[in-house]
């Protein structure tokens, strides 16, 4: 989940309990939520969480998106993490960003940088209420492009240069940690420093197309330890989207909430309005409803039986007897689900080794994502066009010249 | 906890870039500039923070919310934490 990467809850005394305990039972409204605006993408990253590529013809219209924003304003959701697909390829992207910020809903959006020309960068630099995350999964073109596709390193670097030139300080350089790029931690930090950006490291999830490559890309056990030590050494300078709380079982907790916020304080709205418990769980098992349903998003958030069950007190399941349960809380629900592990057992990357034992015992095939918008031909087809055979097969970058 | 930079006898306000959301346990605060979340753990401290801008000093806001002398140090620490994270800022009186 991407909740409180940059949060350090602190407050007055006389507490009724720890904040995590309050969050555990859920809030009347999310603190923030992830909103994938489109499944269309110019890239075909091998680990894409949302199996993006082609636009879905049922995508929410501009008016429907604005109605969602009205709801979020009423519920006082502080901000949305906009992603995709590549959200900036929606023709109404800037209109929606402006509408959200005008309605007191902050925006943080993730992009591969394809549309961040100097004019877009200048516009972003002028707003207090919009933050940008540039995705880059290798500190060098060879490591990055092997995952994100040819040319994607150059695109991201150009976008960051544009943001830096426009005077945007503190935008985020967002990296999914893999077996291949963990040796580059210091290089990522150097790139972020060079552009005046803040480094944000997140966990590789076996979600979407990530399920197909997870076994080859996820960090090795010794690399997890390197990553943990590096994160501890850098403290709050480096953001993590709270995504490495399973590593807290190594010792002291990492900065952040160290809690799975799925359905409790965060959730996902996908491009067709489906509401899922978290961005890493696009599967019918975690589908709570749709913003087009009667009552809209607010009713889904408040009355979904799925969300009610996620807000029930944790039993801990098989992990309860482990001495580290209070640190890691059993890890990531989505990571367990998509590797075929029981939700109430250890995380597949459990640092105590219980995950690998459990993985070895998995007999049935892991569940496949229920939704797939991948380009029909992987890998990447940047700059190449073939005639669309259907509406949703239209390249989102048709007519766009870099 | 440092109380440097927080003077209870000065006028304060919730920072204009902070959004505050009431919750059953108190309130959540989000600062759009620092992009940090914080929270108020009870209704009394919420009443104090909410009314800061209506009083000539933070001390007056505490008194109006019924904070006793004995309780005051805890509220000073709480407000200092909020000042430290820029959730509240000193008001310039014209």
Enumerate residues 6+ apart whose C-beta is below 8 A from B35. Answer: A6, A79, A106, A108, A131
Task: Report, as an integer, the average pLDDT of A40-69.
Answer: 97
Name which of A295, A291, A303 is nearest A263 in CA terms: A303
Q: Taking CB atoms and an 8 Å limit, are B37 and A15 in contact across chains?
A: no
Helix, coil or strand: residue A37: strand
Residue A168 CA, distance from chain mean position: 22
Across the interface, whether the CB atoms of A12 and B38 are under 8 A apart is answered no
Average pLDDT score over residue span A386-395:
49
Give the mean model confidence (pLDDT) for residues A311-320. 85
As a whole number, mean pLDDT of residues A95-119 equals 97
Lowest mean pLDDT among A54-63, A370-379, A388-397, B77-86: A388-397
Calculate mean pLDDT across residues A330-337. Answer: 94
CA dihedral B65, B69, B75, B79 (to 10 degrees): 90
Q: Which residue of B has its CA nearest to A107?
A: B32
Min Cα distance A364 → chain B (Å) is 42
Task: State the Cα–Cα distance between residues B89 and B94, nearest whole angstrom.
Answer: 15
Q: How far apart are CA A94 and CA A91, in angstroms?
A: 8
Residue B39 in contact with partner chain A when CB distance is under 8 A: yes
Show residues of chain B in contact with A28, CB under 8 Å: 23
Instruction: Dig out the tokens for A8 from the structure.
Output: 């350090």
According to the model, what pLDDT value does residue A22 have?
Answer: 74
A217, A176 Cβ separation under 8 angstroms = no
For position B48, what pLDDT does the model report?
Answer: 96
Query: Is the model's pLDDT at B32 over the cut of 50?
Result: yes
Query: Would you call B46 an interface residue with chain A, using a CB distance cutoff of 8 Å?
Result: no
The pLDDT of residue A381 is above 80: no
Chains A, B: CB contacts under 8 A, how many?
80
pTM listed for this prediction: 0.88
Average pLDDT in the A299-319 region? Answer: 91
The strand ranges marked E within A30-105 are 32-38, 79-84
Q: Chain-wide mean pLDDT for chain A?
A: 89
- The per-residue pLDDT for A15 is 41
Which chain A residue lies closest to B34 (C-alpha atoms)?
A6
- CA B35, B86, B13 angle in degrees (round to 5)? 120
Name which of A291, A385, A295, A283 is nearest A334 in CA terms: A283
Rounded mean pLDDT, B33-51: 91
CA distance A362 to chain B (A): 39
- pLDDT > 80? residue A249: yes
The contacts found for B72-77 with CB under 8 angstroms, 24 or more apart, are B74/A12, B74/A13, B74/A14, B75/A12, B75/B45, B75/B48, B76/B3, B76/B6, B76/B8, B77/A12, B77/A13, B77/B1, B77/B3
Q: What percentage of chain B carries pLDDT values higher than 90? A: 76
Tokens of A72: 């979020």
How far is B32 from chain A, CA to nearest CA, in Å? Answer: 6
Q: Any CB–CB contact under 8 A between A78 and chain B?
A: yes
**Residue A155 to residue A149: CA distance in whole angstroms:** 11
Angle at A372 between CA A306 and CA A90, to 5 degrees: 95
Residues B78, A12: C-beta atoms closer than 8 Å: yes
Distance CA A234, CA A239 (A): 9
Tell me, what's the ipTM? 0.87
Q: Hey, CA dihedral for A231, A197, A129, B93, is it positive or negative?
A: positive
The band of A314, judged by pLDDT with boundaries at 50, 70 and 90, is: confident
Residue count of chain B, please give it.
94
- The answer to whether residue A311 neighbours chain B at the CB level (below 8 Å) is no
Measured between CA atoms, how close is A210 to chain B, in angstroms? 29
List residues bridging with B92 in a β-sheet: none
> A235 Cβ partners below 8 Å, 6+ apart?
A255
Q: Alpha-carbon distance A215 to A190, whole Å?
A: 28
Counting residues of chain A whose pLDDT is more than 90, the rounded percentage is 73
| Tens-digit pLDDT profile for residues A251-296 | 888 877 778 899 999 999 999 999 999 999 999 999 999 999 999 9
HSE-up of A181 (CA within 13 Å, CB side)? Answer: 27
Residue A36: beta bridge partners?
A: A83
């Amino acid at each position: 989940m991407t909740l409180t990467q940059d949060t350090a809850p602190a407050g007055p005394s006389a507490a009724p309990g720890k904040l995590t305990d309050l969050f555990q039972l859920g809030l009347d409204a999310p603190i923030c939520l992830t909103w994938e605006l489109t499944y269309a993408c110019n890239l075909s990253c091998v680990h894409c969480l949302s199996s993006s590529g082609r636009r879905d013809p049922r995508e929410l219209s501009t008016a429907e998106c604005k109605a969602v924003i009205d709801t979020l304003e009423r519920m006082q959701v502080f901000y949305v993490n906009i992603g995709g697909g590549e959200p900036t390829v929606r023709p109404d992207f800037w209109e929606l960003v402006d509408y959200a910020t005008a309605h007191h809903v902050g925006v943080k959006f993730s992009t591969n940088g394809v549309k961040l020309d100097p004019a877009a960068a200048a516009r972003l630099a002028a707003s207090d209420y919009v933050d940008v995350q540039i995705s880059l999964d290798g500190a060098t073109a060879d490591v990055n492009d092997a995952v994100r596709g040819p040319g994607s390193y150059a695109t991201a670097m150009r976008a960051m240069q544009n943001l830096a030139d426009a005077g945007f300080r503190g935008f985020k350089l967002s990296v999914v940690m893999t077996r291949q790029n963990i040796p580059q931690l210091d290089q990522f930090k150097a790139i972020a420093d060079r552009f005046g950006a803040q480094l944000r490291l997140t966990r590789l999830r076996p979600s979407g197309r990530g399920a197909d490559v997870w076994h080859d890309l996820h960090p090795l056990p010794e690399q997890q330890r390197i990553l943990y030590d590096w994160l501890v050494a850098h403290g709050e300078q480096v953001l993590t989207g709270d995504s490495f709380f399973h590593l807290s079982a190594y010792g002291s907790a990492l900065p952040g909430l160290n809690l799975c916020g799925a359905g409790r304080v965060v959730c996902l709205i996908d491009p067709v309005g489906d509401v899922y418990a978290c961005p890493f769980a696009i599967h019918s098992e975690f589908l709570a409803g749709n913003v087009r349903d009667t009552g809209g998003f607010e009713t889904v958030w408040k009355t979904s039986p799925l969300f009610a069950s996620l807000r029930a007190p944790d039993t801990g399941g098989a992990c309860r007897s482990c001495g580290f349960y209070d640190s890691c809380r059993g890890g990531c629900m989505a990571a367990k689900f998509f590797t075929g592990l029981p939700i109430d057992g250890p995380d597949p990357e459990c640092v105590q080794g219980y995950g690998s034992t459990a993985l070895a015992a998995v007999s049935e095939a892991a569940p496949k994502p229920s939704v797939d918008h991948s380009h029909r031909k992987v890998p990447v087809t940047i700059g190449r066009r073939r005639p669309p055979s259907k509406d949703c097969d239209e390249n989102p970058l048709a007519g766009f010249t870099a | 906890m440092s109380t440097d930079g927080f003077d209870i006898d000065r006028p304060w306000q919730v920072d204009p870039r902070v959004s505050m959301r009431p919750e059953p346990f108190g309130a959540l605060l989000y600062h759009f500039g620092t992009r940090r979340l914080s929270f108020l753990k009870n209704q009394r401290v919420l009443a104090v923070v909410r009314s800061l801008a209506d009083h000539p000093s933070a001390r007056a806001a505490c008194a109006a919310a019924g904070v006793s002398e004995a309780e005051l140090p805890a509220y000073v620490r709480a407000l200092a934490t909020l000042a430290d994270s820029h959730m509240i800022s000193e008001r310039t009186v014209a």
